[in-house]
Structure formats: structure tokens, C-alpha cells
Structure 1
Amino acid sequence: MRSYKTIIIEDEKPAARLLHRKLTLLGFQDVDLLHSVAQAKKWFETHEAPALIFMDIQLSDGLSFDIFEELEIETNIIFITAYDEYTLKAFKLNSVDYLLKPILDDELQFAVEKFEKFNNPLPTQALLDKKTMLFPNQLPYKSRFTVKIGLQIKLIDCDEVECFYAQNKGNYLFTKNKEEYLIDYSLEKLETVLDPRLFFRISRNYIIQVKAIKNINIHSATRLKITLNHCPFNNIIVSRDRVSIFKNWLD
């Protein structure tokens, strides 16, 4: 059974109900139906982000893209539409697939399986064991980084890092000594080389170290604000769609 939270954003109610029935046959258990841009915005303001969104593009009160212009939503999306003119714009968002109406059952199932394939990583220990097996003479995760300071190269141990962040097209690390350095790693690459027991990507712009967390405060109904031991930044916010995963990671 597929118990992860899913929403359908579709202004044509018969089409929304039909898709809901198709998803029920595929084992979906927790699906909400929304029918407009305004209703979707209100829903996201009061709920944690779902795991998956099925979304028509042209809604009765505007384009569904309008939802993302005001809200930071990183949830995966399967677009459902009668038109293919928005394909490029759709794939600039977190698009998993783009299904043209009428939706065929096999295409729907393929899109769902595609989403699950890329969003069900192996458990941390399984990843650790697999990496150790493939590279027996290497440490499974990075233990230090090299940074350039003028003509010098400095070593920074991962234990010294409070967070990694992206800013102004650059990526940086911030240490518990209140030092920040430009690094050659993207945040996407960092996710693959850092120990996931110690580091967690809370948003598009931040990866934080668990030992560096000083306080966790409720920022809104669906978001959390992080204060680190030494980092002075006041915009370290857990994205809506990461809150639930973040809480499980802390446990």
C-alpha cells in the first residue's frame, strides 16, 4: 500500500475524482483533492508538504505555477494536463513526469513508480555497508575538506563544520570557529559524500550538522527555524516538505 501523503490539484472535479479512483486502485491511501490556486495556497499554509503532488496546470483561477511563486515547495510533482505547451516550465520545477489527458493507466503507474524509484533511498546503514563493500580501502564518507585561502590550502575536519550553505551562486562551509570558506562542492554533491547520520539537508540552501544545533523553534504552522551554536544566520529554516523527514532524522 502507498500510505505517503498525496494531493491532487485539479479544477475539473469529475477528472479529480477519476484520478483519485485510479490512485486508490494503485494503493494510495491518503489523498486530498484541491480545486484552485487559492485553495492550494491555503492548504499549504496549514499543512506539512505532501510527498507527491498531481497537478493540472490551467486551473479556474490561474496557472498552478502561481502557487510556487509565493510558497517554497520542494515536493515532487506529476503534472496532468490537456496541453503540452508548458513542458519546459514544468520541468524547471520538481517535476517527476508530465502526463497528457486522458491519462492512461499504464502511464500513470509508470509515473508513480518513477517517483518512488528516486525517492526511496536505501537506509543509512545499508548505504554505508554498500559503499564499504564497493570501496573497501576508502572511508565511506568524507572526514575533511580542503579550502583555498589565497595561495594556501587549509584542511577543515567535518567535525568542525556547523553547516554548508548556498549563496550568490557559491557554496560555503561555516565552522564552529565562525569561519566561512568557499568550497567546490554543490549541495547536491555534498549530500552524497557527507555522513547522513551527522548532516541533513533542511532546504535548498542549507545542510546542517546535528551536533551544531542549539535550538529548534516553530517558525510557522508547517516550518521550523534552526539556531546553530555559532553561526549567526537567522534564516536557517526547515522547508515544509522536509519537516517530517527532519523530525525522524533527529530521532
Structure 2
Amino acid sequence: MKVIIIEDEKPSARRLGRMLSNLNIEAQAMLHSVKESVEWFRTNEHPDLILLDIQLSDGLSFEIFEEVTVNSAIIFTTAYDEYALKAFKLNSIDYLLKPIDDDELEIAIDKFKSNQPEKHDLMVDINQIKKLLVNPLEREYKRRFTIKVGQHLRVVDTDDIECFYSDHKATYCHTNQGKNYLMDFSLEQLDDKLDPLKFYRVNRKFLIQMNAITDIISYTNSRLQIKLNHYKEQEIIVSRERVKEFKNWLE
């Protein structure tokens, strides 16, 4: 099986390459920009599978497919979960959320191997995904949640929620009033329901609201620590692989 990696951050690309090696798969190439990728596809036999980051150093990776026709399967490697989950699900596309986990990579590769389509069917609906990624304002997002509290129902506006977090396989929201409520949704489901201009998933355990941030502190291993208005129960750390996208989101 021929695989290439398209990832603008070279340390992340090398790490992904090592993870593939552990699965006895050698990356045929590691590409880091739209321009480099277009040139490579024009002069090389296309692979069976592309591990593709969405945001590259010189633009969105979708621009590659505007220049060349690529008949390869794609597994997205992305920090854009809050934008992309709906598009991925609609197109039955696999994706790996950064920071990539070894077990999740193995599952995605095994899934590809067991469901390989015909070569001419490998391309996905890139235009549909691109539309949802670059035009998030066209989508409708949750403005409030109805939450069961004992025998009662409480309506909580999303603007009143500082963060969503997972704890012991359950998902909770933390409000501006310092209250924690059990949610009926997983963090993955909430990613698809919340406005990405307001909420960002900083790691596997936390979705935070921008307006709730009171401080951002440099942390060990090039990570960031987030302080919120009222939530104090656990440290909130932006994983190193998401620091760049987090800063872009803040802007």
C-alpha cells in the first residue's frame, strides 16, 4: 500500500511517519505545502491513501485538488473538528483529530484496508467539505440546551456556558454561575453543534468558549494553559499540536 503524508509542520509529519512505520507502512513522501504537493502529484504515481492536513503553510489543502486530479483515498488529519465533523460524516470520510493517537491511526488504516473502493471511486466530495470549512457562518448552531436536573428541565443558553468537559466517560457543561450540568451529548457531538467562532476544542477533554478566557499562560513543552472566569476544577491545557490553530482561532 502506497501512502503519502501532507502536513505543513515537519515535526508532526515525521511523528506521523514513525507511527506508520510501527504499522509496517512506509510513507512514500512527506509534503508540506500546496505548491509542493501539486508539483509532486504532477510527476509521481498517485498513492492509494493520503494522510492530509487541512491547513497548510500556503493555504488550504483543498487548493491541491483545484490544480490536479488526484484519485486517492483521503484520511484527514485535522484540528478543525468543530468545522468539519458534519462534512466528514456526510461523506463517510475518515479523519484523525490532532494530536493523533496510535490506536486511532491503526483503526483508520485497518478500516481503509478492509473497505478499499475501486480506484475511480476514491475521490471524495472535496467541494462540499471545503464549503463547510471556509463558510461556517452558513450553518446553524445550537443557541441553547435543555438539560435535565433531577425531575426538572433547565434551559441554558450557550452564551452562559464557559466550557464543556469530559470526566469519567460523561460530558458536562460549566456555566457562568459556576454550575456543572450533565449533558446528553459527547464532546464529539458538541463539536458539530457549537459555533466554531465561539467555541474551540483545546484538547480531548475540553471545549472552551472564547469569552470565558481570562488568561493564557505559556506551559511546558510549547503548550498553553487556559484560565477561565469560573471553572477551576482541572487544568485546561492546549496540546502542542493545537497551539497554532488555537492562536489562529483567537484572531
For normalisation by structure 2, the TM-score amounts to 0.57
Is 1:170 the counterpart of 2:170 in the alignment?
A: yes
Partner Cα distance (2:170, 2:163) in 1: 14
CA contact (8 A) 1:124 1:196 kept: no
Shift of the alpha carbon at 1:122?
4.5
Structure 2 runs not aligned, ≥5 long:
1-5, 40-75, 78-96, 112-118
Partner Cα distance (1:159, 1:151) in 2: 24
Aligned to 2:136: 127
Shift of the alpha carbon at 1:98?
5.3
Shift of the alpha carbon at 1:233?
2.5
Shift of the alpha carbon at 1:250?
0.4
**Aligned pair in 2 of structure 1 residues 167, 93: CA closer, same or farther (>3 Å)?**
farther
Is 1:182 the counterpart of 2:182 in the alignment?
A: yes
Shift of the alpha carbon at 1:4?
1.6
Aligned to 1:143: 143
Partner Cα distance (2:191, 2:154) in 1: 22
Aligned to 1:97: 109
**Aligned pair in 2 of structure 1 residues 76, 144: CA closer, same or farther (>3 Å)?**
same
Shift of the alpha carbon at 1:170?
0.9
Is 1:226 the counterpart of 2:211 in the alignment?
A: no
Match of 1:194, SS state, is coil
CA contact (8 A) 2:7 2:31 kept: no
* Percent sequence identity over aligned pairs: 32
Is 1:27 the counterpart of 2:75 in the alignment?
A: no
Is 1:198 the counterpart of 2:213 in the alignment?
A: no
**Aligned pair in 2 of structure 1 residues 192, 210: CA closer, same or farther (>3 Å)?**
same
Partner Cα distance (2:177, 2:108) in 1: 41
Shift of the alpha carbon at 1:97?
2.3
Structure 1 runs not aligned, ≥5 long:
30-50, 53-72, 78-89, 100-106, 132-139
**Aligned pair in 2 of structure 1 residues 94, 171: CA closer, same or farther (>3 Å)?**
farther
**Aligned pair in 2 of structure 1 residues 185, 24: CA closer, same or farther (>3 Å)?**
closer
For normalisation by structure 1, the TM-score amounts to 0.57
The CA RMSD measured in Å over matched residues stands at 3.8
Q: Deviations over 1:193-228 (max 9, x none)?
A: 100000000111100000000000011132111000
> Which residue identity does 1:97 align to in structure 2?
I
Q: Deviations over 1:93-146 (max 9, x none)?
A: 5754259xxxxxxx9xx7xx88xx7xx7646561332x3xxxxxxxx1111011
**Which one has a bigger Cα radius of gyration?**
1
CA contact (8 A) 2:165 2:172 kept: yes
CA contact (8 A) 1:74 1:94 kept: no
CA contact (8 A) 1:199 1:210 kept: yes
Aligned to 2:239: 239
Aligned to 1:136: none
Question: Which stretch has the larger CA shift, 225-234 or 203-212?
Answer: 225-234
Match of 2:37, SS state, is coil
> Which residue identity does 1:151 align to in structure 2?
Q
CA contact (8 A) 1:144 1:155 kept: yes
Aligned to 1:4: 8
**Aligned pair in 2 of structure 1 residues 219, 185: CA closer, same or farther (>3 Å)?**
same
